[in-house]
Chains A and B, each alone.
Chain A
């Protein structure tokens, strides 16, 4: 058991792109956890999509040995994602630490997630060490950024570190600050075992691997442990640390971070936030645990070929093994047949899952446009939550249509306040406050309907501020709004999977945009196809796809026969990947048009 006086547990918190993963890699490299040969960028991001997108999606833990003044230390780095969609993973990681490095880009300065993550760390009573990164850049704003850290985050920047993860500058000072300033973990080795489950993953060979942070007591191989929330007991078959690969050890003591393997096969049986204790010598009080992450965005996923339904279920199951924050449930659509309704933390999360499904599974999918969850108060007094426009009851039965509202914090150049306020006003926002962070930057707070921000607010903000604006949001509750369900009719038939919920005042504009978009997406047929948007029975927008008037091969002689037949066969193959509604073939992409039509301002 490692002497807990020489253990330090810390996270790196940062706004996305401020260089968190690069700094983490440098810490691994400089401590010898990995060799120069093994060194590669973002070693902690082991999902392919993380590498590709340069973002961290899942929390990671790694144990590093470092010797300072002849004393060997064990430093446990618990990596966290930076994107707002995965904010809950941040608080999860923080609960396993005593300190955090607050990493801020020396040019970009304090951003929305810097603030959100720093507050989370402050709430968790962590020792926070501010670190300016990318100091090797030709242009930095060191003094202003330090001011921002003091004024916005409220941290003393006296001992602020200056580093460059990329160039390897100042890495030793980071180690020293971690050791000197972050307190060693408390907790007695002789108390009954209490270990916090802060994550889990599915390993093909070991089954479920549970990430734990020991608070008190110790855990060793062969021990019988009890998961307090799950109410299950298991024998510890293997335990160890991430260095960064899994390395088995005999025992983990107070303050240590590592993993246990107990033979659990189903990820759903391990609850993140659960407390692990000794089966025979149980602690009376479990650890506080976590709030369950809330899914904000829902969409339908349907196999194009109905016989792929079971395969899709298996693939979704596989995805959810490693991602407890993703949910799915069987669903049926008149238009699309059998499929699944899937829930995500946000749009990025949705895109990531979708990308992984495309890459790892070989199922042709139709994905419907995403939407948020609505709260309906019905005339009969019932309250109903609806995450699928198809489930919205007839207008007459609805007393009140409630939509989720988010408090949104923007941090942006002061000269862009005007355009952002205009955007928020267009999006039915309620203005709260503006606070100037310095001569050139401001924090603007709005309350906005979640539906108005999840899909594209981030992109809009980036374009309005030339990339310098950032935002963070949290859902604060439901508010009634004048919402209606908009139906889409293709050649006179309602296509339920294209229905969406819109604000009455915007219905016409969105209806027109959607019809126009569908006209682009649906190819011409041998007959005319009217596309209509309707509120109940009232048509509010219409477009017509004209019929193909001429499509005939002029020459078909000896040399043309094979070539032209193959062209037609290929064309026909393309049609097979579309969904047939009556006589109309609608391509996959068309179902996401709802999304684009919303973007079309």
Chain B
């Protein structure tokens, strides 16, 4: 499905989704801020994982050879397992899905994992987009974030990736405790210097249940001041476009033509397959999330039980409201016309007063055909979208 197709609302329920996500939960270490589904130090489970993943795909009854427009391996760390194991993983998925040269095939990677052997493997398997978990170029921040690499490792791996992959994205984190505005500026500049095609910048979130949350409760670390975090975000939105990275979503910037097509599927409200512990799928109007515990997921599949822990099927109106919440994350905003085609609701009938109020507050911009967040609105996007839920 092209972005043009979704724009004019060709959400064809009869056709299976053309996007797929695979969750690979293995990591060498759980970083203090991370609340993703992962399991650290249990590489012995990779074999079981691959077997269960095969079972999960089989049981999902996908039509064999379903063509994919986008395929995404996230984690955890998809590049953590041994090369042979990674090969089994990619080969398995390609047995069920049809991956072509036009498929956007992304893999999240940890810089230190990317040996030449693994880079060769990724190339051989048809991967054409690498998303590198860089997080920072400041040693102090990297240490606090409990990352195992240093700035030099990133430069090294970028040099080696350059000749093989045209499409590389760097993930960066701001709002790191003790991170100053100049620190962050330097991280942005270093990232730009390396010339990736895509950059994501994430404000650090203290998630309940993480070590960072506990440390903050204890007063051991503290979140950066709200005003500073705002300046850091503002700096990214200023510097990256100036260097040719157009902002296309709250946290995402890309050189022209390098937007992540897979992630656009989420914000378009399109459907997608998903497999693995904690993975979330959207199929036939139903959102399902697998059990987050890796062992739980393994056990359920082995016992021939469904791995789904949560599911919800929204009614038409809620689906439309959800689409506003997702669509406003994109900088180009929501097209009135395609909103109507996709949901059957006129945007203004569904939420005219909220819309006008947010426009009046200067948080939304409405040009008649598109509604989008203003620059100011991006800072408080949660407050804005809440009005439409």
Contacts and interface: CB of A to CB of B under 8 A. Distances in A.
Contacts of B21: 558
Nearest to B290: A559
A205 interface: no
Contact of A550 (B23, B380, B385): B380
Interface string A546-564: 0011111111111111110
A557 B274 CA distance: 12
Given A554-B203, A568-B385, 14 more contacts: A526-B383, A550-B203, A550-B230, A550-B233, A552-B233, A553-B382, A554-B204, A554-B251, A556-B329, A559-B280, A559-B289, A560-B280, A561-B280, A562-B310
Contacts of A548: 226, 380, 383
B266 A556 contact: yes
A544 to B, nearest CB: 15
B80 interface: no
Interface string A527-538: 100000000000
Given A552-B203, A556-B329, A568-B385, A562 B380 contact: no
B380 A552 contact: yes
27 contacts: A526-B361, A526-B383, A548-B226, A548-B383, A550-B226, A550-B233, A550-B380, A551-B382, A551-B383, A552-B250, A552-B380, A552-B382, A553-B250, A554-B250, A557-B266, A558-B272, A558-B274, A559-B278, A559-B280, A561-B282, A561-B322, A561-B326, A565-B322, A565-B389, A568-B325, A568-B382, A571-B386
A314 interface: no
B316 to A, nearest CB: 16
Mostly, the A contact residues are loop
Given A559-B278, A561-B266, A554 B380 contact: no
A287 B148 CA distance: 91
Contact of A526 (B202, B233, B250, B380): B380
Nearest to A563: B289
Contacts of A203: none
A562 B312 contact: yes
A569 interface: yes
Contacts of A48: none
Contacts of B226: 548-550
B12 interface: no
A46 B272 CA distance: 60
B251 A558 contact: no
Contacts of B203: 550, 552, 554
A530 to B, nearest CB: 17
Nearest to A557: B266
A555 B389 CA distance: 18
A562 B287 contact: yes
Mostly, the B contact residues are mixed
Given A549-B226, A568-B386, A558 B266 contact: yes
Nearest 7 Cβ contacts at the A-B interface: A559-B280, A554-B202, A552-B381, A550-B230, A554-B203, A551-B380, A551-B382
B279 interface: yes
Contacts of A568: 325, 382, 385-386, 389
B227 interface: yes
A549 to B, nearest CB: 5
B379 interface: yes
Contacts of B129: none
Contacts of B233: 550, 552
B325 A565 contact: yes
A572 interface: yes
Nearest to B234: A550
Most buried by B among A549, A558, A571: A558
B281 interface: yes
B104 interface: no
Most buried by A among B251, B378, B387: B251
Contact of B202 (A555, A559, A563, A569): A555
A549 B202 contact: no
B66 to A, nearest CB: 17
A554 B232 CA distance: 13
Contacts of B322: 561, 565
Nearest to B378: A552
Contacts of A558: 21, 266, 272, 274, 279-282
B69 interface: no
B389 A526 contact: no
Interface in A498-530: 526-527
Interface of A: 526-527, 548-563, 565, 568-569, 571-572
A553 B389 CA distance: 15
B205 interface: yes
A577 to B, nearest CB: 15
A549 B383 CA distance: 11
B229 interface: yes
Contact of A562 (B23, B279, B289): B289
A550 B385 CA distance: 14
B263 interface: yes
Contacts of B267: 556
Contacts of B310: 562
B363 interface: yes
B172 to A, nearest CB: 11
Interface string B120-163: 00000000000000000000000000000000000000000000
Contacts of B229: 550
A557 B268 CA distance: 11
Interface in B337-389: 361, 363, 378-383, 385-387, 389
Contacts of B280: 558-562
Contacts of A550: 203, 226, 229-230, 233, 379-380
A561 B37 CA distance: 15
A558 B361 CA distance: 30
Contacts of B202: 554-555
A557 B389 CA distance: 18
B70 to A, nearest CB: 11
Contacts of A551: 379-383
Nearest to A547: B380
B290 to A, nearest CB: 9
A549 B230 contact: yes
Contact of B363 (A526, A559, A561, A563): A526
Interface in B281-317: 281-282, 287, 289, 310, 312
A554 B233 CA distance: 11
A526 B282 CA distance: 33
A557 B263 contact: yes
Contacts of A565: 322, 325, 389
A126 B203 CA distance: 76
A560 B282 CA distance: 12
Contact of B361 (A527, A554, A561, A562): A527
A572 B385 CA distance: 10
Contacts of B325: 565, 568
A552 B263 CA distance: 18
Contacts of B282: 558, 561
A572 to B, nearest CB: 5
Nearest to B269: A561
B134 to A, nearest CB: 15
A389 B274 CA distance: 61
A439 to B, nearest CB: 50
Interface string B198-217: 00001111000000000000
A572 B329 CA distance: 18
